[in-house]
Amino acid sequence: MMETLEGAELCFPDLLNASCEKLPRPQAEAVLIYTLLTSISVLTAALNLLLIVSISHFRQLHTPTNLLLLSLAVSDFLVGLLVMPFQILLTEPCWPLGDLLCTVYYFLPFITISASIVSMVLISVDRYVAICDPLHYPTKITQNRVKVCVLLCWVYSVFCSFLLLYENLKQPGRYSSCRGECVIHVSGAADLVLGFILPITAIVVLYARVFVVAVSQARAMRSHIAAVTLQRSETVTAKRSEVKAARTLGVVVAVFLMCYCPYYCVSLSGYNLTVGSSTEAFMIFLLLFNSCLNPVIYALLYPWFRKSVKLIVTLEILRPGSCEANVL
């Protein structure tokens, strides 16, 4: 055993008996991983920052639905700005920042991912009310209520993260087998129920109902469109707009499920992912990559986002009164 340690490259050579063995990646693989993660990190932060500026600056976009999109964009922006760069450190053979920062780091993805999931639930509720109870939507879904819900979303995310990581924070490094390893322990059952089963069930049930009602409304509009009056035509246009918004956000939710389900389904199956394995790295990458896909979906499906980005990139937003610009 001593010969093995003496011949091995250690993370901390001064701690011969406590240091982890350093197992460097092949150079080509390391360059590919760093380039890919860095590029996606920058792209994620930049795209979500454009979305945050768009919704915050242009008055036409100050709607309850867009406030929920803003909450989602903030969590995605933090993933690109903070979580992904630290994820690059986790791909290194050794964790250089110590046990306490290892535990503190994990708070970031737990909070941001939890906020993303709860924001998706709130978006599903918003679309459910808009499609299934459109007459009461303006009174039920108000700006102030949405602001309170967004605040509670982030408070809940911080609380759940603290609850899941409390043991690790109380005694940092207790689950690491050697120095240079960044490993935490989370109650799989609690994470599965709070972070996956409850919110995903709510999202699927709400959107299943939205889909059924939206399809029936679309059929009704097609069958009666030739016989409507001007007043009813405006109602039909409004309904069509709500159905289109539900479909667009439905794409966001579907992509969200595709990115998040593999990681949690592995946990649900009882299979234990090996820390540092290629499978674990891919699952986490897919989960984080969702934060980059959301603004891409908005760019493809929301004309107002493309118009807003054009005004931001050309610095038109610096002109006085630009917040009143027509972007819809």
pLDDT at 241: 59
Specify if 18 maps to a domain.
Answer: no
Mean pLDDT over each residue of the chain, to the nearest integer: 79
* CATH code, 223: 1.20.1070.10
| Ramachandran quadrant class, 48 (left: phi over 0; alpha: psi -120 to 50; beta: rest) | alpha
189, part of any domain: yes
| CA–CA separation, 208 and 127 (whole Å) | 11
Q: How confident is the model over 73-117, as pLDDT tens digits?
A: 999 999 889 888 877 777 776 777 778 888 888 888 889 888 988
Residue 304 falls within a domain, yes or no?
A: yes
User: Which residues are CB-contacts of 204 (< 8 A; sequence separation ≥ 6)?
Assistant: 257
| Window from 102-116, 209-223, 254-268, 295-309 with minimum mean pLDDT | 209-223
Question: Is 2 within the bounds of a domain?
Answer: no
The reported pTM is 0.81
| Mean pLDDT to the nearest integer, 250-270 | 74
* Residue 171 vs residues 46, 86, 98, 174, 298: alpha-carbon distances, Å: 36, 21, 13, 6, 42
Domain-embedded: residue 99: yes
- Phi, psi of 191, deg, nearest 5: -65, -40
pLDDT band at 302 (very low <50, low <70, confident <90, very high): confident
User: Which residues span the domain enclosing 38?
Assistant: 27-324
Could you tell me if residue 20 is inside a domain?
Answer: no
Reported as a single tens digit per residue, the pLDDT across 303-314 is 888 899 899 999
Count of structural domains within the chain: 1
In this structure, is residue 238 part of a structural domain?
yes
Residue 295 in any domain: the answer is yes
Spatial contact of 115 and 123, defined as CB atoms under 8 Å apart: no
Backbone angles phi, psi at 321, to 5 degrees: 80, 5
**Rounded mean pLDDT, 170-198:** 76
Q: What is the pLDDT of residue 67?
A: 92
Which pair of structure tokens corresponds to residue 110? 């737990």
**C-alpha–C-alpha distance, residues 72 and 298, integer Å:** 12
pLDDT single digits (tens) 1-56: 344 445 567 777 766 667 777 776 677 777 887 888 888 899 999 999 999 999 99
In this structure, the number of other CB atoms found within 10 A of the CB of residue 312 comes to 18
